[in-house]
Amino acid sequence: MKTKKFPLHWKIMIGMLLGILFGIVMTQLSWGGQFTKFYIKPLGTIFINSLKLIAIPLILASLIKGISDLKNISKLSKMGGRTVITYLLTTLTAVLIGMTLVNIIKPGSSVTEKTRNDLMVAYQDNANEKMLIAEEQKGQGPLQFIVDIVPSNIFDAATDNKNMLQVIFFAIFIGVALIYIPKEKAKPVKDFFDSFNHVILKMIDFIMLAAPFGVFGLLAAIVVEAPNIDLFKALGMYSFTLVIGLAIMIGIYIMLVRIFTKRKASFFLKGISPAQLLAFSTSSSAATLPVTMDRVENKLGVDKEVSSFVLPIGATINMDGTSLYQAVAAIFIAQTFGMDLSLSTQLGIVLTATLASIGAAAVPSAGIVLLVGVLAQAGIPEAGLALIFAVDRPLDMCRTVVNVTGDATVSMIVAKSVKKLKKVKE
Ligand code: ASP
C-alpha cells in the first residue's frame, strides 16, 4: 500500500513553531536562556554547519558536470547573458519598490528624538563593529570585485564560504575546458563529478531528515537572544515598510513565473517552500543553496544544466531582498536624522544598493555591513546603523527568503527561455 508522505514544508514549519514556542517559554525561566544556549542552540548550529559543508562540494560537482554537458560554449554565453540581465532587472525592481515605499510611508518620521538617541546609545558598539569591517573593505578600486572573482589558490578559496564566487569561477573554467577536449579524454573526469554529484545529493537528503530539529534549535535560540520587545515597537514602521516591500517582491516572482513559464502560484510555492523556510531559519542563501537546487530541479522541473549554473551564481550575486533593504534602511536612517534627500542622492542610492547587494556574501548580516558604504556614499551618518540594529536579524531572515525565491524564479525563466524547463506533475 502506498502511504502519503507528510510534506517536508509542514515538518519544517512545525519545527519552527515549536522552536518559537519553546524559546518564549524559556525566556520566562531564569535558567531558560542559558539552557537554550548550551543545549538547544547546538542543534541549529550543527544543522547549519552541515548545510554549509555541502555548499562548496555541491557547486563544484554540479557546475562542472552541468557546464561540461553543454554541447558548445555558445549555449553557455546565451544562458549567462540571460541570467545576468534578468538578475539585474529583478534587483533594480526591488530597489525601486523599496525606494517608493519608504518615500510614501516615511517610517523615519515616526521615530521620536528620544527613541533615536536611545537606539544610538544602545547599539553604538554593534554599529562600530560593522563599520570597522566595512572600513577594512574600503580603499579598493572599483574593479576590485572582478579581481576578487579569480582565486590565486583554489584550496584557499574553498576554505571560506564567502569566496563562493571564486569556486564558481574555477568550476566554470574546468567545465569549459572539458567541452574543448576530446570526448573520450573528458569522460573519466565527467563521470567522476557525475557520481560525486549523486553522493552529495544523497547527503542533502540525509541532512534534510534533521531539518525540523535543526530549525527548532535555530528559532529557539533566536527568540531567547532577541532584544527587548519595546525596541521592536519603536522600529515597527520601518520593519513594516520593509516587510511590505519584500511581500510585493514575492508577488512579483509569482507573476513572473506565471507569465514566463505558465506555472501556477501554488505549484511554484509548494515546490520552493522548504527552501524558503530554511532561508528564513538560517538567514543564509549559501546555507540554503543545496536545498534550493534540489527543489528547483526535482519539484519545479528546471534542468540541471541550467540550475547548476544559475543558482550558485544567484546565491552570491542576486539578492533582491538585500537590495530592497539597503534602499529602505538608508532612506529610513536619513529620515530619522531629518535629512531631505535630493533626487540625485536617491538615484545614487539605487546604484550603490544594487552594487552592494551584488557584492554581499550570502551569509547572515552581510547586508548591514554593505549598508555602511551605501550610507557613506549618500552622505548619511554611518553611525545611523545603530538605529536599525535591534531588528536586523528578523529582517535578515525575511530578506533571505526573498533572495532565495528570486534565484529560483530566474532559474525557471532562464530554463524556459533555453527550452530546459521540464513538465513536472502539478
Ligand atoms: N543574509 C542574506 C543572505 O544570505 C544577506 C543579507 O542581506 O544579509 O541572502
Reference 389, options 203, 197, 189, 231; nearest CA is 231
Angle value at C-alpha 145, between 139 and 147, nearest 5 degrees: 100
What average pLDDT does range 178-182 have in this prediction?
Answer: 92
CA distance 398 to 322: 10
pLDDT value for 1: 45
Q: Is 407 in the pocket of ligand 1 (CB under 6 A)?
A: no
Cα distances (angstroms) measured from residue 171 to each of 55, 63, 264, 308, 378: 13, 6, 34, 11, 37
Model confidence pLDDT, tens digit, residues 352-384: 888 888 877 777 878 888 888 888 888 898 878
CA distance 409 to 261: 10
What pTM value is reported for the model? 0.86
What average pLDDT does range 254-266 have in this prediction?
Answer: 96
Q: Is 76 in the pocket of ligand 1 (CB under 6 A)?
A: no
Q: Atom of ligand 1 at shortest distance to CA of 400?
A: 9
Q: Atom of ligand 1 at shortest distance to CA of 403?
A: 9
283 alpha carbon to ligand 1 midpoint, in Å?
A: 6
Cα distances (angstroms) measured from residue 58 to each of 53, 180, 277, 414, 415: 9, 23, 20, 21, 20
pLDDT value for 2: 47
Model confidence pLDDT, tens digit, residues 89-147: 999 999 999 999 999 999 988 888 877 887 777 777 777 777 777 776 666 666 777 78
Q: Is 283 in the pocket of ligand 1 (CB under 6 A)?
A: yes
Probe target for ligand 1 pocket from 284, 400, 402, 405, with the most ligand atoms within 8 Å of CB: 400
Lowest mean pLDDT among 72-81, 124-133, 304-313, 333-342: 124-133
pLDDT value for 274: 94
Model confidence pLDDT, tens digit, residues 263-282: 999 999 999 999 999 999 99
Computed over every residue of the chain, the mean pLDDT equals 88
CA distance 307 to 313: 10
What average pLDDT does range 73-80 have in this prediction?
Answer: 86
pLDDT value for 213: 94
Name the residue ranges covered by the structural domains of the chain: 71-182+228-417
176 alpha carbon to ligand 1 midpoint, in Å?
A: 30
pLDDT value for 331: 94
Annotation: CATH topology of 71-182+228-417: Proton glutamate symport protein (1.10.3860)
